Amino acid sequence: MFTRRQFLYLLWCIPVLGIAQKSLFLRRYKREVNVNIVSEISSMQLFDGLLVRTRGYYNIDDGCGALYLINRFSSITHNKYTIKINDTYGMTLITSNDCIPLKKLGVHFDGIHDDTYLLRDIFNFPGCYYMDKGRIIVSDYIELSSGITLFGAGPLKTVIEYLGENGNWLFINGKKGDSNFLQGHGYNGRGNYNFRDFAIDLRGDIARHSRSAMIFGRSANIYIENIIFMNGKNSHRIECNSQSNFNINNCFFFNTITTDNSSHEEINIDFNSKKGFPAFGEWDNTACENITISSCCFINVQTGLGSHSYNTNKHKNIRVENCIFNKIKKIAIRFQSVDNSIIEGCIFEYVDGVDIALLNASNNVINNNLFSKKQNVLNSPVNSKLNFFKNNRFI
């Protein structure tokens, strides 16, 4: 009598049985098969519910062995990214971890292959995604679904490099060019993001125009932590546009290229208007509220952070705490149309212009900061009033 293993071997070795009998046996008795790499799966006999275990993704030794579930596209619930095998079948990654390693979805991390289109497909779906050590190459913008957590192995280990010449933005929380993407008013756009522990090299040296890392319009609940933003060009590294509950902690911004004298904040706090935020609409001029920027470092940039738009509707509760501004070419912090906010515990060194500019800004507290020069604050007497300066020191 044949054992089950021997019978399975005979099914694959005796041609006279044919493909149909082999496939039928697999359906009845074997729900999991092993292959070396993902590309081998397309040549298999597939059926709904088949489990395929790989030794690697592109190569056997690339450390990306994983378990995938095969199903027809017609039976797949499209609530997460599905890897296409052919026109009929797709496969989803099976993982015991809540966070999905991007390597096991085919992202290369080799500093060579352009993964822009793959990342666009992946980030169409909410979820938690992990970036391993290595360098990811992108060449154009990537639209984000709401509800994405993206974290790396550390800012010195995981790098996203923007190699395109023409692109202006990396991550965007809406449909580029869609003037009717947002409906209603206020903070109802795509939000609930958490980004941490990686670096973004924007390659402003090859960019034809401006180069920004992240732009967010009319949304809420965004957390950005322990990220290096380097080599930007003009514009802003982070566009905080009509945001509520927006938090940036322990991030580094350095070496931004500027080619004109416009206001190029690394972190821009702005109202939602077509001119100020052309990426997508609708536009309702909503102000920002509850913004916290803490323990960040700005080195060799034109303007550190702030707002540069006039509005009778003010941004409120902006907190800038324990940040360092070094080698700033223009203004370290610009509060324009900002009320009831705090700048506290910051250090200002080698600022060519003014350390803090208050324009159409009232009821703000400037407390316990260390300035490098006496004439450190531009406080517009026409539109700004009742701003409080206390416990500040000078180098």
Using CA atoms, how far residue 229 sits from 122, 160, 216, 252, 308, in Å, is 23, 10, 16, 6, 21
What is the pLDDT, as a whole number, of residue 78? Answer: 73
What's the pTM value of the predicted model, to 2 decimals? 0.91
pLDDT at 52: 97
Nearest 10 degrees: CA dihedral of 82, 129, 56, 94?
A: -60
67: tokens are: 């378990």
Please give the full DSSP string across 271-299, using - where no structure is assigned. ---TTT-TTS-----PPPEEEEEES-EEE
For residue 250, the model assigns a pLDDT of 99
Length of the chain in terms of residues written: 395
Count CA within 13 A, CB hemisphere, residue 294.
Answer: 10
Half-sphere exposure of 233 (CA within 13 A, CB side): 20
- Res 286: pLDDT: 96
Name 171's Cβ contacts closer than 8 Å, sequence gap at least 6: 141, 142, 144, 213, 214, 215
pLDDT score recorded for residue 80: 85
Cα 367 to Cα 317: distance, rounded to the nearest angstrom? 15
What pLDDT sits at residue 17? Answer: 40
CA distance 143 to 172: 5
Distance, in Å, from the CA atom of 362 to the CA atom of 340, rounded to the nearest integer, reads 7
The reported pLDDT for the residue numbered 3 is 54
Encode pLDDT of 62-83 as tens digits. Answer: 999 999 999 998 877 777 899 9
List, for the chain, all residue ranges whose pLDDT scores fall below the cut of 50.
1-2, 6-22, 24-29
Work out whether strand 67-72 and strand 51-54 pair parallel, antiparallel, or are unpaired: antiparallel
Q: pLDDT digit string (tens) for 116-136?
A: 999 999 999 999 999 999 999
Q: Give the pLDDT confidence score for residue 30 in this predicted structure.
A: 57
Domains and CATH numbers, the chain: 98-394 (2.160.20.10)
Gap between the Cα atoms of 44 and 51, Å rounded: 12
- Bridge partner list, 223: 194, 247
What phi, psi does 43 have (nearest 5°)?
-90, 0
Tokens of 86: 């052919």
Write out the E strands in 28-79: 32-35, 51-54, 67-72
Query: Quick one: which of 228, 104, 100 has its CA closest to 154?
Result: 228
Cβ count near 271 (within 10 Å): 23
Residue among 332, 270, 276, 346 nearest 301 (CA) = 332
Cβ-proximal residues to 40 (8 Å cutoff; 6+ apart), any chain:
none
Residue 26 is classified by DSSP as H
DSSP secondary structure code for residue 102 in this structure? G
Six-digit token pair at 356? 């803090």
Task: Please state whether 286 falls in left (phi above 0), alpha (psi between -120 and 50) or beta.
Answer: beta
141 in Cβ contact with 246 (< 8 Å): no
Beta bridge partners, 193, equal 222
| Strand-pair category, 89-94 with 67-72 | antiparallel
